[in-house]
Amino acid sequence: MAKAIENGVDLAEEVGFPPFDTDTFASQIFWLVLTFAFLYWFVSKIALPRLASVIEERKQRVETDLADAARLKAQADEAFAAYEASLAAAKNNARVIAEETRASLASESEVQRKSLEQDLATRIANAEKTIDDTKTKALSHVGEIASEATSSIVERLLGSAPTQVQVDKAVKSALDR
Amino acid sequence: MASPTEQFEIRHFSDPLFFIGGSPVTVTNSALFMIATVGVIVVFMLAVTSSRSVIPGRWQNAGELLYEFVADTVRQSAGKDGLVFFPLVFSLFAFILVANLLGMLPYSFTVTSSIIVTATLSLLVILTVIVYGVAKHGVKFLNIFVPSGVPAWLLPLIVAIEVVSFLSRPVSLSVRLFANILAGHIALKIFAGFVAALLASGTVAAVLSPLPLLFTIAIVALEFLVAVLQAYVFAVLTSLYLHDALHPGH
């Protein structure tokens, strides 16, 4: 070993500038080829595949997550559209029902009103008829009452009752006047 | 005072294990720092991928940031199909980055301050470009020397320029990294040496010693930047060259 170091130093002194000392070239090339070949094997077979797998896995994870998100968003949009549609249908339905109800109620109340009016009209007519009858009846009794009153008055005044025929005649002529 | 280039010396810690072309292969400080570099990367990558949870912790986040950073570099420079070279670019980036940063530790050795190391890495890149380009496109790979839309009379000149530019790629790739690291470490050593020299001078000049100290601190910060930047530059250029292998037509 001592000899080797001595040898190296000697060679360096001979050449003067160590990097151009050709006697060390073979050794350096040998070690460089050995170490670099190992490094290349390690990098290409172990280090880079490992890193690549992680990066690839992350990329795929992100992609699937994005796809999931897009799918879920589409579902949400669909649900929202369905909700909107059903809401519109329900609104429409409610409007139809309301209109129908209003129409049926209106016609019902119209019918009731008409029957009520008819009823009232009948009653009014009846009442009027009763009034008329009563009036007629009352008026028909007027002559009778007048005759009686006349007969009584004449009897009181003259002391003797006139005949019915005379009284009626007199009353009639008075009423007709 | 030690020479500024002493830090780049290859120290042998063993007798020659065997010989390649007459040159001894020994366990050296360079070899140990290469092993340490790979060791740091392995430990870091195992640590950041230990839990592998969908929601990352701090460490895992750091690992993923590194992954995405290099992957983006490859995608932008080499194109989407350039990701077949992702492990290669990632290994180069991580190796150079960690080797540079380990070199910033005091008393350590910087693997990338050796021209032979950066040249070997550059050759690996260029050979990958050539082998992959020819295997995939056959003769059509030569289209990289023939830009489309160039007038015929200009073609010989352009092709010559393209060939020279292609051949100079491994040189520029290796020298850029090597020279940046080497120059930075030498500058660091020299300015730090000034501090010691001024203080040891025992004269009034000693009061000037904070000046080079400030420079040293500034250069340390700069060197950290260079360490990261050069690793990135190497990775980007590798990706650009690999783009040629994938798409030979300009």
pLDDT digits (tens, 9 = 90+) for A48-85: 999 999 888 889 999 999 999 999 999 999 999 999 99
Confidence of residue B184 (pLDDT cuts 50, 70, 90): very high
pLDDT for B1 equals: 53
Please name the member of A29, A35, A42 whose beta carbon is closest to the beta carbon of B116.
A29
Rounded Cα distance between B32 and B11, Å, is: 10
Interface touch A27/B31, C-beta < 8 Å? yes
Per-domain residue ranges of chain A: 2-176
pLDDT for A10 equals: 44
Q: Tokens for B13? A: 């810690």
Give me the sign of the Cα torsion angle B126, B128, B130, B131.
Answer: positive
Rounded Cα distance between A130 and A120, Å, is: 15
Residues of A near B (Cβ–Cβ under 8 Å) read: 1, 3-5, 7-9, 12, 17-33, 35-36, 38-40, 42-44, 46-48, 50-55, 57-58, 61
Residue A15 clears pLDDT 60, i.e. is over it: no
Contact between A34 and B37 under an 8 Å Cβ cutoff? The reply is: no
Higher pLDDT, A164 or B220: B220
pLDDT for A137 equals: 86
What predicted TM-score, i.e. pTM, was given to this entire model? 0.73
Rounded Cα distance between B94 and B65, Å, is: 13
Please give the share of chain B, as a percent, with pLDDT higher than 90: 60
Q: How far is CA B212 from the centre of its chain?
A: 28
User: What stretches of chain B show up as alpha helix (H) in DSSP?
Assistant: 29-48, 58-78, 86-102, 115-137, 155-200, 210-246
> Within 10 A of B16 (CB to CB), how many other CB atoms are there?
17
Interface touch A3/B95, C-beta < 8 Å? no
B19 by DSSP, 3-state: which?
Answer: strand
Q: What's the one-letter identity of residue B184?
A: G
Higher pLDDT, A177 or B60: B60
Chain B residues 156-195 with a CB less than 8 Å from chain A: 178, 182
pLDDT for A35 equals: 96
* Per-chain mean pLDDT for chain B: 90
DSSP at B12? B
pLDDT for A9 equals: 45
pLDDT for B224 equals: 96
Q: Which one of A28, A30, A41 would you mutate to disrupt binding with B, by most B Cβ within 10 Å of its Cβ? A: A28
Please name the member of B23, B46, B115 whose beta carbon is closest to the beta carbon of A27.
B23
Rounded Cα distance between B129 and B118, Å, is: 17
Q: Tokens for A77? A: 């949009």
Q: Tokens for B6? A: 């002493």
Mean pLDDT of A106-128: 93
Residue B2 clears pLDDT 80, i.e. is over it: no
Indicate the length of chain A as a whole number.
177
At B197-216, the pLDDT tens digits run 888 887 888 888 889 899 99
Contact between B99 and B33 under an 8 Å Cβ cutoff? The reply is: yes
